Amino acid sequence: MSFSGRLARWSAVFGLAMLVFAVPARADFTTVDLTLVPASAQYNTVDLSLEVSASGSTVSDTDTSTIAGNVLAQLTYTAPPAAYDADVTGLEFTGGHVTFSDISFYLSFGLAGNITADGTNLAGYPDTPAPPGTVTVVHFPSQFEFPTQEHEVVLNEGSFVIAGNGLIGGFLSPNPMLFDLSTSPMSGTTTGTGTLDVSSPVIAGNLATYDVTLTMPVAFDEEVYNDGTIAASVVASGILQAAGQFTHVIPEPATVLLLAAGAGVLGLRRRR
């Protein structure tokens, strides 16, 4: 075969290869189980405040709770052939179980008495009310961000018990007062920005494995009681961080390419 013939053949093969890799990547969905990282001063520690207004006075107390557990999320992504870096375009929280360590508050109204409040066995899950949530790229392929107002954290387990004495205690009815979150859940969101860090894939056989780290501010500002005489609100803030992995099945581009190349070469031979 002449040099020009070989050049034409490999030009055709190269063109077919480019066509194979130029096919737009199909959108995929994956559920990823993200485990909360150990609590620290920076992550998975929530500052809570209980504020009570009564008899013309407002008193508050604060406590700190650590959170643990897992977050389930569905990611919408594409993984174009060649590098297979994941381009995340959607996020939906589908559940999980996040537990809070017990908290306790003491609010003194001086001679008017005091109020104690204890939160025990508190737990909940993240949710996306109108999925999928928006995700935008910050630095491809590793970092993406999402608006946290499209998501919320629901507390639906555990209880608060509020009790009082003196004049202030007389405002509570009943006293003590039980707030059961299983029957009256609390939910909260925040106007902020969360991030998704997605590693480049580690490829073994036909599987690409990605490490994922979710970082998201969490906030509550919920009035839990108001009878016109006494009002109580719970305010919380912290940063949740969780990590996990997901896998992507890689089609066999080498097989597709060989078939395409073979067909191209056969066509060239037939035309000679």
Longest pairwise C-alpha distance within the chain:
105
> In the beta sheet, which residues pair with residue 117?
105, 162
Q: Estimate the share of the chain in helix, then strand, then coil, as percent rounded to the nearest 5.
A: 20, 55, 25
In this structure, what token pair is assigned to residue 162?
């509020």
Say what the pLDDT of residue 262 is.
46
Say what the pLDDT of residue 27 is.
80
In this structure, what token pair is assigned to residue 218?
């969490």
CB atoms within 10 A of CB 249: 10
Strands 230-249 and 177-180: what pairing?
unpaired
Say what the pLDDT of residue 224 is.
81
Cα–Cα distance for residue pair 61/100, rounded to 1 Å: 18
> In the beta sheet, which residues pair with residue 139?
143
Q: Which of 55-64, 99-108, 113-122, 215-224 has the lowest mean pLDDT?
A: 215-224
Q: What amino acid occupies position 131?
A: P
User: Are the C-beta atoms of 77 and 87 separated by less than 8 Å?
Assistant: yes
Domain definitions of the chain by residue range: 26-250
In the predicted model, is pLDDT for residue 163 greater than 70?
yes
Residue 20 pLDDT level (bands cut at 50, 70, 90): very low
Residue 49 pLDDT level (bands cut at 50, 70, 90): very high
In this structure, what token pair is assigned to residue 83?
């590098």
In the predicted model, is pLDDT for residue 7 greater than 70?
no
- More confident site: 101 or 83: 101
Average pLDDT of every residue of the chain = 86
Helix (H) or strand (E) holding 262: helix 253-271
How does pLDDT run across 239-256, given as a tens digit for each residue? 999 999 999 999 865 544
User: Are the C-beta atoms of 73 and 31 separated by less than 8 Å?
Assistant: yes
The pLDDT of 192-216, averaged and rounded, is: 96
> Phi first, then psi: what are they for 6, rounded to 5°?
-60, -40
Only one residue has tokens 């191209």, namely 264
Say what the pLDDT of residue 240 is.
96
